[in-house]
Structure 1
Amino acid sequence: MKRFIIATFFVLSQSILAVTYKSNGPIDGLSHIKDLVDSNWSIQIKNYSCLEDRALDWKKKANQIVETDSLDKFQTSPRLRILEEGILKNALINYAYSRLFIEHMSENETPYAFWLGSATYGSRQVGHELRDAYYKLAKLSKHDGFPYLKELLKSEKHIKGIKAFVFYFKEFSYYMATSNQAIYQDIFWQFLAAKYCGPQFVSRMLLNEALKMRKRSDYKDHYERMALAWKRMSSKNADTILRGNLDLLWDEQNFVLQPLLYNPWHAKIVSASKFFNSFAVPGIPGVHGELLDFNDYSKLHDQKNNLSNFESRMKWVSYLVKNHKDYFVDQHNKGLLEKLFYDVQEESLLVLGDYL
């Protein structure tokens, strides 16, 4: 039975990857959605304080920027609504990441927020997977368009396997959406505060937060590591700035993603199907051309080819951030950076347009 579930997961997960949004250029009729999203952003940033004990205020502002209360009620069955909300949150997160990164690159002579640019495209890929999963699960719930599954469902022998697959897949989609939101909640507020108060302020604010966590050594260490990352990102030295971004990346991968997405019980099924690997793509090229996806990078460097393995994943995402940094600077110098991130914003607005 376990082999059947894994095999079914693999077959359907590969079909899911076939449906991916591609921008076709500017879309008319999105200005009112953009105005709504931007006005909410302006409201949240209207009053801010650069006092080191106001971390909670910045966290609240970041959370309100991606709040879905202003959107229409969900139009699907209750069992798909959690995934649907994850899709909407992801669209708002991608818009927030891309908007703040564009502003950062245009306002700073020495750019330092490269994590934010890479996170935009990592989160965008999550959005693709969530939307594809939603469409497939909606069809699967009606057994519509899946003749292979229809045949399996005629057999008593396989009915439990199909139900188990649906359960595992929905659970995985939920954890993927939750992880996407957890990274945003953990880190975005820091970049938001840095825009208005500077990276050194964020470092001091994080140290202040660490002092409040004396009884939670794991969180205390987490805040202290991020404070050091921001101290490095406030440097004028390019190598030190990159090191700070990689430090932040390490905490994102180790403190947030590993326990939330890659360690739980559902990860065993997903890892066995190599589904994690299937969405580990670079998103954008490097200065010298296309970058390697996780599978090719692992083969080239003779490392464990499983994205749930922290060491392997960390080497690959570090390789991406290093190359993305050079690409972002190159595109900025050519005046093409806004177009690159405009496509992400447009995609987000298209998703939100279904609910406004």
Structure 2
Amino acid sequence: MPLRSAVKQLCAAALVLAAALAAAQPALAPEVAAAIDSISANALRAHVSFLASDLLEGRATPSRGAEIAAEYIAAQFRRAGLEPAAGRSYFQDGRIAPPRRSPNAPAPESVPVRNVIGALPGTDPELAGTCVIVSAHYDHLGQRQGEEGDTIYNGANDDASGVSAVIEIAQALAPLRSAPKRTILFIAFAGEERGRLGSRFYVEHPVCPIDKTAAGINLEQLGRTDDVSGPVTGTAYVTGFDYSDVGPLLQQAGERAGVRFLKHEPNSDKFFTGSDNLSLALAGVPAHTISVGFIFPDYHRPGDHWDKLDYDNMARVVRGIALGVYELANRTAPVRWNDANPLAERYRKARAAAQGAP
């Protein structure tokens, strides 16, 4: 058979298989489809432009700018109708020490952290006591001596983009009459840039017991499509893609939303340990970070401004994430670490320990 004919037949077979797989998935309820479609580029732009404005002075931990950001996020959770999850408050306050800079360095003093947490209660009598976490970090690097006189590291893509996605996913899912079976916790973590301070504190003081936390979806850098490895559109990458069931589940949801959730071969494993998902994973929770790109030209530089993000692409990706979160929260089967992947072994053992396995 000529090569060109063989390629055509393979492509046709792939299209038929894709169509069959799509047809095999049950249709979304109209209410859910409308909720997902309500996530808009304009709403995301509005959140990012405020959180990454000069007024907030780069949102260092701790700082006045970070306090303003936390108040803004709590107000958005309140607007969405989420329940306060930290007692009667949206704020989980505490203190935690940053990591040592070197083994011989003196132990750093603890610093104050404020996580912002809202809950969408589950509806299933047996599963409502379990939860799925959707998170992003709201801090950035604050003010430093920058380039061309700009001293404010605004952190629009890193990670005002992730926080705005958390807010809009909450806004989309909270009004649903067909609310998910499991509780969804929406968390904006403090202090990620100083060593995952907020997520480490949360794991030590969880709102939802760690052994009852089904999965974690952490959102980082969703807005820039100009990754240094090449432009990225209609695609987002899942760190540690094949460490657990989460990657394939997101991939299925993405097919419905027109988004590709993929493994980034050079970076998926490397960046698994680079964000707040790691704090949850070390405690045993199957938790991953979703990013559109890993390194962009203004990464950790003063030029990470809100007007450089591709909000249309971002909205498309966030819709896919929202659907994945909804389906994870409706999943009755437990999410599991991949027994066949040796890179997931330490997290699998932590899960077993958290659940009291011998």
Fold conserved (TM > 0.5)? no
TM-score for both structures, normalised by structure 1? 0.33
Select the structure that is richer in strand.
2
> Where is the helix percentage greater, Structure 1 or Structure 2?
1
Give the number of the structure with larger relative contact order, counting CA–CA contacts within 8 Å between residues 6 or more apart: 1
